[in-house]
Amino acid sequence: MSIEDKIIVALDLESCEKALSLVERLGGHANFFKIGLGLIGKGGLELASEIKTRGYKVFLDLKLFDISNTVENAVSGLCDANFDFLTVQGDPHVIEAAVKGRSSSSTKILAVTFLTSLDRGDLDQNLIKPGEIQSLTDKRAEKAILAGADGVIASPKELQLIRKNPVCAKKIVVTPGIRPRNSSIDDQKRVATPSEALRLGASHIVVGRPICQAEDPLVAYKEIEKEISPD
Ligand code: C5P
């Protein structure tokens, strides 16, 4: 896989116009863009199709969660455009329904384990059973793959465990919570640098604010590219 395909730029901007300008600014360097909930009410789906039509890879990060019938219908409609990745919550019934809805589309269904912005205190608030977040994430990833997911989203801190798990070893593992050295952690809690995350076994890294909010996003992108390029 090329380096450009390993770095997914999260287009977390206030408007689709700004997001498209960023795609154009990074054009010729970045190749994979993520559109999430922040843009969905502002034309994000049309933007996703536009970016796909321009030849880039697109990750639709909607983290779907509902009863099976609704998930199946939602995924069926979303997969017509053959986006590259689509996220759903990692509950087995959600994944089974998403895989059914995806039908013959080439879209990969990825399961969210636990958000990288959560720690054990947050899991307590959500009444998630006791246990270390790393091992719970690994178990959730395993259940998701067994239910039919093509891969999972996990933080860099869980990568080693997930890669050691024979059920998940060869699957897609996308890792947000990426912070180049000296950049602000913001609201993320379980973070690593781009090179650490790839060394620990991520197949792809997601980078949002360190690129989107950089003085020059292209310079920030190229620095990450340089950091992870083999010498
Ligand atoms: O700005 P930052 O690099 O923290 O952005 C991370 C991106 O990854 C955001 O778009 C966020 O929605 C997404 N994400 C995450 N944790 C997950 C799944 C997705 O941070 N578990």
pLDDT average, residue stretch 218-222? 96
Q: How far is the CA of 73 from the centre of ligand 1 (A)?
A: 25
**SS3 category, 166:** coil
Q: What is the pLDDT of residue 152?
A: 98
pLDDT in tens, 7-45: 999 999 999 999 999 999 999 899 999 999 999 999 999
Residue among 98, 85, 92, 97 at smallest CA distance from 172: 85
Name the residue range of residue 102's domain.
3-228
Q: What is the pLDDT of residue 35?
A: 98
CA 18-24-213 angle, to 5 degrees, is: 50
Residue 68 has pLDDT above 90, yes or no: yes
Residues 94/71, Cβ–Cβ less than 8 Å? yes
pLDDT average, residue stretch 108-137? 93
Residue 186 CA: nearest ligand 1 atom is 4
**Pairing between β-strand 32-36 and β-strand 57-64 as defined by DSSP bridges:** parallel
* Prediction pTM value: 0.95
**Pocket probe mutation, ligand 1, options 116, 118, 140, 190, max atoms within 8 Å of Cβ:** 116
Q: What is the pLDDT of residue 216?
A: 96
Residue 92 has pLDDT above 80, yes or no: yes
Average pLDDT, the chain: 95
Pocket of ligand 1 (CB under 6 A): 10, 12, 36, 61, 112, 115-117, 153, 176-178, 186, 188, 206-209
Q: What is the pLDDT of residue 218?
A: 97
Nearest CA to ligand 1 atom 3: 208
pLDDT in tens, 105-117: 999 999 999 888 8
Helix 16-26, helix 44-53: angle, nearest 10: 20
Looking at the structure of the chain, the number of domains it has is: 1
Nearest CA to ligand 1 atom 2: 208
Q: What is the pLDDT of residue 48?
A: 97
Contacts of 173 (CB under 8 A, 6+ apart): 141, 151, 152, 153, 154, 159, 162, 163, 201, 202, 203, 204
Q: What CATH number has the domain bearing residue 113?
A: 3.20.20.70
Residues 173, 211: Cα–Cα separation, whole Å: 21
Q: What is the pLDDT of residue 182?
A: 78
pLDDT band at 184 (very low <50, low <70, confident <90, very high): confident
The values of phi and psi at residue 11, to 5°, are -85, 70
Residue 220 has pLDDT above 90, yes or no: yes
Q: Confirm whether 226 is a catalytic residue.
A: no
Q: What is the pLDDT of residue 188?
A: 76
pLDDT band at 183 (very low <50, low <70, confident <90, very high): confident
Which residue in 6, 34, 57, 63 is the catalytic one?
63
Share of the chain above pLDDT 70, in %: 100
